[in-house]
């Protein structure tokens, strides 16, 4: 096992863990995956690029080094002519073009590329597991998270439930992001979302208006090919730190 830490000096915890587990820390990505040699010398690679002191662009995207690290690994793959499983965390590249390049490169070289949140595999309270082909019409996820990067945890929770609905994974028709004061106007125009949000409010025993206290409200609307809809609602209410899912059956 080996580790590369991009901002090593600032990662006190990373250094402490590696020292306790006797895991060597290398100065470059290439050295970490090749164990200071010239060929790929590991059986799998995991990128955790969702922490650190990094700038943001004009759109507020956090410029994390996920894509840059991926590039370095690809160079070793191509040089070694050997491939291994590649797992990324929930944080994706800043641009769609970079994300597509990562996907296309995995298909070109024919290696397994996967990623996502670990939260859908975490324990649930109550322990809910939908039966396959459950007739879901609409769903909502309420989570206390930033809308950049960490929203993917909420989206993965949503998909973990929705993909078990009748017909299975039918695909996504459209995605819309509504931000700011327009968020509440959208909720008022879409009664189904308001009703589900009210169910979550009652579950947490919140007062009327508590959810509206979020400084920068945001709702992500997902429309599926089978006609069902879902929303990911981001709330700063402290008791909502545990992601909450609700649905309405057909």
Please, what is the Cα angle at 90 between 84 and 95, to 5 degrees? Answer: 95
Rounded Cα gap, residues 137 and 130, in angstroms: 14
- Asked whether 245 and 161 are in contact (CB, 8 A), the reply is yes
Encode 117-135: b = buried (16+ Cβ within 10 Å), e = exposed: bebbeeeeeeeeeeeeeee
Q: DSSP code of 26?
A: E
- Asked whether 163 and 199 are in contact (CB, 8 A), the reply is no
- 3-state DSSP assignment of residue 87: strand
Rounded Cα gap, residues 154 and 225, in angstroms: 20
Mean pLDDT per segment of 10 residues, for the chain of length 250 residues?
Answer: 92 93 95 92 87 81 85 91 77 74 91 79 78 87 69 83 84 90 90 88 75 74 91 63 49
- 3-state DSSP assignment of residue 63: coil
* Range 237-241 contact pairs with CB under 8 angstroms and sequence separation of 24 or more: 237/144, 237/204, 237/206, 237/210, 237/211, 237/213, 238/144, 239/204, 239/206, 240/142, 240/143, 240/144, 240/200, 240/204, 240/211, 241/143, 241/144
H/E run at residue 100: helix 96-109
Of 47, 17, 11, 55, nearest in space to 29 by CA? 47
Rounded Cα gap, residues 149 and 165, in angstroms: 26
For domain 3-115, the CATH architecture is: 3-Layer(aba) Sandwich (3.40)
- Asked whether 140 and 233 are in contact (CB, 8 A), the reply is yes
Tell me, which fold does domain 120-249 have in CATH?
Dihydrodipicolinate Reductase; domain 2 (3.30.360)
- Asked whether 63 and 90 are in contact (CB, 8 A), the reply is no
Question: pLDDT digit string (tens) for 19-45?
Answer: 999 999 999 999 999 999 889 999 999
Question: pLDDT digit string (tens) for 146-176?
Answer: 655 567 788 888 888 888 888 888 889 999 9
Rounded Cα gap, residues 38 and 53, in angstroms: 31
Sorted by where each begins, the domain ranges of the chain are: 3-115, 120-249
């Amino acid at each position: 096992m080996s580790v590369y830490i991009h901002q090593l000096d600032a990662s006190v915890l990373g250094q402490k863990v590696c020292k306790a587990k006797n895991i060597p820390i290398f100065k470059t990505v290439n050295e970490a995956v090749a164990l200071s040699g010239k060929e790929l010398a590991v059986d799998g690679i995991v990128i955790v690029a969702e922490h650190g002191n990094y700038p943001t662009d004009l759109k507020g995207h956090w410029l994390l080094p996920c894509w840059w690290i991926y590039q370095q690994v690809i160079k070793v793959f191509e040089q070694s002519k050997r491939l291994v499983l590649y797992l990324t965390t929930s944080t994706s590249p800043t641009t769609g073009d970079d994300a597509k390049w990562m996907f296309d490169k995995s298909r070109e070289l024919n290696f397994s590329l996967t990623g996502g949140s670990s939260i859908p595999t975490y324990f649930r309270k109550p322990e809910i597991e939908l039966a396959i082909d459950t007739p879901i019409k609409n769903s909502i996820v309420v989570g206390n998270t930033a809308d950049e990067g960490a929203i993917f945890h909420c989206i993965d929770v949503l998909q973990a439930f929705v993909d078990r609905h009748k017909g299975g994974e039918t695909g996504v028709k459209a995605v819309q992001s509504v931000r700011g004061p327009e968020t509440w106007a959208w909720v008022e125009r879409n009664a189904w979302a308001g009703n589900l949000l009210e169910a979550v409010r009652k579950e947490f025993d919140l007062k009327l208006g508590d959810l509206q206290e979020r400084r920068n409200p945001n709702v992500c609307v997902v429309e599926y090919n089978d006609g069902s809809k879902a929303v990911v609602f981001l709330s700063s209410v402290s008791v909502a730190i545990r992601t909450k899912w609700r649905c309405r059956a057909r």
